[in-house]
A and B are shown apart, each in its own frame.
Chain A
Amino acid sequence: MQTVRLWQPRRIDLQGGATLYLLHGGEADLVRIEFIFPHTGWDPEQPLLNRALAGMLLEGTVSRTAAEIAETIDYYGAFLHAESSADHIIVTLHTLSKHIGHTLPIVKEVLGEAVFPENELAVYAQNSLQKLQVSLEKNEFQARRAFNAAVFGTESPYGYPLEPEDFTRIDRDALLTQYPRQLSSKNCFIVASGKISKEVESEIMRCFNDWEGEEAPAYDPVLRTGAPGKYAVEMPGSVQSAIRIGKPLIHRTHPDYVELQILNTVLGGYFGSRLMANIREDKGYTYGIGSGLHSFKNTGLFFIATEVGVDVRENALREIYHEMERLTSEPVPQTELDLVRNYLMGSFLGSLENVFSHADKFKSLLLSGLDYAYYDRYFEAVRNVSAARLKELAIMYFAPGDFYEVTAG
């Protein structure tokens, strides 16, 4: 096995409260700058607030219209996006380094002087509502939505099942109040990667060193886990059923997590996994099946997802549980475990394609409050975890009884 060298960023604490990380590397004349803002709250009366903040961020500032912002970014060949995920709002700029003096000031402007025009908000709400209506016709979306609601409850961004009407209830005053708290320098990690020349660094410092926002409230998502068991979403006329099975599980900071990732790989984490080998490659029930671990701010999630022909749904479910049960009763054979070790090392190496991928590795540490020792533990586990230990983990985490099973269609 080869050794892997991870590129680590340089940290600068900015005067206005933001934390800047600079990761220099690569030959191409490109920079990616991400502004990460952990959520500062969630209000059941305004469940879409942070999503709308992100969606509306580029729709106008004190001095520029939405059209002018879009035109400037496009003119310099840059890409600027804002999105809201389970735990954060992330604003991302991709730009040629040579144009950073034109593109970065736009980001500064939208983070400090966005005005959320009423007419733009109406268009945003209408278009988002229509997109959600289309998504609600997809079985996979319905299964994921019902699953998250069951697993996390409906009182946080993790599990709240969005309704089209929610878009008509977005309150502009609430947006204006939330904006300076949520998108504040005191709630912001800036991760810049790519060709960080002296000019790029000084432009970042010029724009953001003095940027100072309001104090940001701390927020911990409220989890109201529902009862494990079977949930069905009726989707008349379907030729396939979407299936989602899983449960809340340990977070990336838990000592078992690195080994559990290896167990998850055996079960459904790669093309040769047991779920793929059995349910696709032996039975032909599906085009694809996989399992995954996701680490949220203060909880984790394990899930299996697939779409299968409606006529073979019960067979597929039986085989899925069978594969989990088998991990609890039989040790993973040595040849299979060796294969998975090598596969994971190769795929880690392959995932470090360029400076942006190194920055991604750093980001996942940063957002979990971990340091690079995490990857040492991970490589150690990949090299040395035993079949007996994996069986122990399977008994602890994959034993039947407390799974949430959602089918849609």
Chain B
Amino acid sequence: METKKKLISDAGVRTDGRRWNELRPIRMEVGQLKNADGSAYIEFGKNKIVAAVYGPKEVHPKHMVLPDRALIRCRYHMAPFSVDERKNPAPSRREIEISKVIREALEPALIAEDYPRAAIEIFVEVLQSDGGSRVAGITASSLALSDAGINMRDLVVGCSSGIVDGQVVLDLNDTEDKEGSGDMPVAFMPNLNQVTLLQVDGIYTPENFRKAFELAITGGRTVYEMQRKALLDKYFGSSPSETPMEAEE
């Protein structure tokens, strides 16, 4: 509203120097935590997130057991020092909601029927938050799940888009997330072409809604290539493609 500072310059450059369709620098690494059955670390801009998977394991309490498939649990949590003002470490309503949507974004990819009566637990810890932490968390969790050897139909990759200064842009950073006028996190299974998470806030004309949604999918496909490479690096040394993955447009 009114006299807000501009987040995109007249030349089309964003606060961190990117164009509208560019991702932030991304780095992923698989298998950092030795105790977990699977783990992954992701840096997505200034986001620093670690994801770990335990399972399949016994279900506690027993009455939660599902007779025909695994019980999937997910906890998304932000470290108290991950944001500008110290965050109370107790789970907030936001974190409870995000834990739920992350779980529901990953569950379609898991072949939970292969693990009846078992639990699979996914932990996402945001060490530093920079806008788009849920989608980066999903990308990392999906890597951790495959690192744990859980049977999956596809990887799940997350990417967000949004509206900044009236324009549809890819991958909002912290400032754009807080001061921009809309944020649309999307997660999907790239090979099956199925959307597993969609959240919308902000004001989107029908045309901008379509544009933002398609942009998030396009961005996600780029992230997917890096995600795939991170897995190949872990299990086959360096991956076949030798060009280093850059956050490209």
**A-B complex is real:** no
B interface with A by C-beta (< 8 Å): none
A interface with B by C-beta (< 8 Å): none
